[in-house]
């Protein structure tokens, strides 16, 4: 099967988006633009296969520019007229007339005109509304085609796995530092401790047991209420901490992890971390990294949670969901790798 990893949406996803749009269209004719980066002919063939039996005609746009807002409707109707055979073939195969006919225009780029609706005279041969003036809607689906939060493009199982691996790296590093310097995590522990009677050492042991009970990493969801894992406690702490105070929390986490200053390797700061940064930039790279880890963990855990309740929310642009998940995955990968490659801390415990 042809891979479409370079496209904004796969033909399968676009077919679903178009089908959903058809259910809400009020005009008898709807046009959708979609930008294809790769082979438009192959993409069109697959999209036609997926939409077979629907009142949807897929056209590869090669000649028309659609750059003049005053001529868009005329160009659109002219394009329909030039492809009469395709329309008659698709619509003639339907068991009954379709209240809405959609035209998907596969372009090399999205036309530089606003999404609009204007009256247009349809060709005389066009079913039901031929020769009449109808409102024609032209919309771009490249950037607005939406799907539920738990769609495959969100890569929720991968986010679960990435969060599980980051939790492992955090737990290992905290355990290693605590053995060498028991007081290093005191300030951090005060921020994330619950009133459950556990001290830090007991929590580390409990967290490892909790992780051992996870059977499917791709379904891992941190439990902020019970706080049985490191990332669960970080998530809850972020939820109840102001952006300014989160910088100080990052400093405490950096100390608990015994992060060197400066860090000797690059790491990715996700967009959600940039948006949540305090007014004053963290003075130390280690603090900036730890603060980014806090926001990355919180955003990833929240993403997993809302995806599990996707029916409670609407659809969001696939491009947004895909880029958000990828951004978090790269951030978790870099954070995990950095923590795993840190030198072991030297013990500060004096021999008796």
199 and 271 assigned to the same domain: yes
Half-sphere exposure in the Cβ direction for 231 (13 Å, CA) = 32
Say if strands 29-35 and 101-107 run parallel, antiparallel, or are unpaired. parallel
139 and 156 assigned to the same domain: no
Residue 115: predicted pLDDT: 64
User: pLDDT by residue (tens digit) across 315-351?
Assistant: 999 999 999 999 999 999 999 999 999 999 877 655 5
Helices (H), the chain: 11-22, 40-50, 72-82, 84-92, 156-180, 186-192, 200-212, 230-239, 243-256, 271-275, 285-308, 318-340
Q: Which of 111, 112, 130, 114 is nearest to 122 (CA)?
A: 130
Residue 1: predicted pLDDT: 43
Q: How far apart are CA 303 and CA 323, in angstroms?
A: 13
Q: How many Å is the Cα radius of gyration of the chain?
A: 27
Which residues are within 8 A (CB) of 281 and not within 5 positions of it... i.e. 6 or more apart? 288
26 and 70 assigned to the same domain: yes
User: pLDDT by residue (tens digit) across 69-112?
Assistant: 778 888 899 999 999 999 999 999 998 888 999 999 999 887 76
158 and 289 assigned to the same domain: yes
138 and 281 assigned to the same domain: no
Q: Which of 315, 278, 311 is nearest to 294 (CA)?
A: 278
233 and 198 assigned to the same domain: yes
Residue 132 phi/psi, 5-degree rounding, is: -110, 165
Q: How far apart are CA 176 and CA 340, in angstroms?
A: 11
Say if strands 316-317 and 146-147 run parallel, antiparallel, or are unpaired. antiparallel
Residue 4: predicted pLDDT: 58
Q: Which of 120, 116, 254 is nearest to 187 (CA)?
A: 254
Q: How far apart are CA 141 and CA 135, in angstroms?
A: 19
Task: Print the domain residue range for 80.
Answer: 11-144
Write b or e for each residue in 267-304: b if 16 or more Cβ atoms lie within 10 A of its Cβ, otherwise e.
Answer: bbbbebbeebbeeeebeebbbbbbbbbbbbbbbbbebb
318 and 222 assigned to the same domain: yes
68 and 207 assigned to the same domain: no
139 and 173 assigned to the same domain: no
In a domain, 138, yes or no: yes
Last residue of a domain, one of 117, 144, 171: 144
Last residue of a domain, one of 113, 144, 175: 144
Last residue of a domain, one of 144, 176, 197: 144
pTM: 0.88
Split into its structural domains, the chain has a count of 2
Spans in the chain with pLDDT lower than 50: 1
In a domain, 345, yes or no: no
211 and 291 assigned to the same domain: yes
The answer to whether 250 touches 282, Cβ cutoff 8 Å, is: yes
In a domain, 4, yes or no: no
307 and 222 assigned to the same domain: yes
Residue 309 pairs in a beta bridge with none
Q: How far apart are CA 106 and CA 62, in angstroms?
A: 9
140 and 158 assigned to the same domain: no
């Amino acid at each position: 099967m042809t891979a479409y990893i370079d496209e904004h949406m796969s033909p399968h996803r676009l077919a679903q988006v178009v089908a959903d749009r058809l259910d809400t269209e009020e005009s008898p004719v709807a046009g959708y633009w979609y930008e294809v980066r790769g082979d438009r002919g192959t993409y069109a063939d697959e999209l036609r296969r997926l939409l077979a039996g629907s009142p949807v005609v897929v056209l590869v746009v090669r000649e028309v520019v659609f750059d003049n807002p005053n001529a868009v409707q005329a160009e659109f109707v002219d394009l329909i007229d030039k492809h009469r055979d395709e329309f008659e073939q698709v619509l003639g195969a339907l068991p009954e007339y379709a209240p809405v006919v959609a035209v998907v225009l596969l372009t090399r780029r999205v036309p530089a005109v606003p999404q609009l609706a204007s009256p247009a005279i349809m060709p005389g041969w066009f079913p039901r509304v031929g020769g009449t003036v109808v409102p024609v809607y032209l919309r771009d689906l490249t950037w607005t085609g939406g799907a539920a939060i738990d769609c495959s493009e969100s890569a929720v199982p991968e986010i679960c796995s990435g969060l599980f691996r980051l939790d492992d790296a955090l737990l290992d590093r905290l355990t290693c530092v605590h053995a060498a310097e028991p007081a290093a995590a005191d300030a951090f522990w005060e921020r994330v401790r619950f009133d459950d009677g556990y001290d830090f050492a007991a929590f580390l042991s409990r967290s490892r047991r909790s992780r051992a009970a996870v059977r499917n990493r791709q379904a891992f969801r941190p439990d902020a209420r019970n706080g049985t894992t490191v990332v669960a406690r970080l998530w809850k702490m972020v939820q109840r901490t102001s952006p300014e105070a989160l910088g100080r929390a990052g400093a405490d986490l950096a100390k608990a992890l015994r992060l060197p200053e400066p860090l000797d390797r690059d790491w990715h700061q996700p967009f959600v971390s940039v948006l949540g940064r305090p007014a004053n930039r963290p003075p130390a790279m280690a603090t900036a990294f730890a603060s980014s880890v806090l926001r990355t963990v919180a955003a990833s855990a929240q993403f997993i949670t809302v995806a599990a309740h996707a029916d409670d929310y609407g659809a969001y642009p696939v491009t947004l969901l895909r880029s958000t998940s990828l951004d978090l995955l790269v951030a978790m990968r870099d954070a995990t790798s950095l923590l795993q490659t840190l030198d072991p801390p030297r013990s500060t415990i004096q021999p008796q």
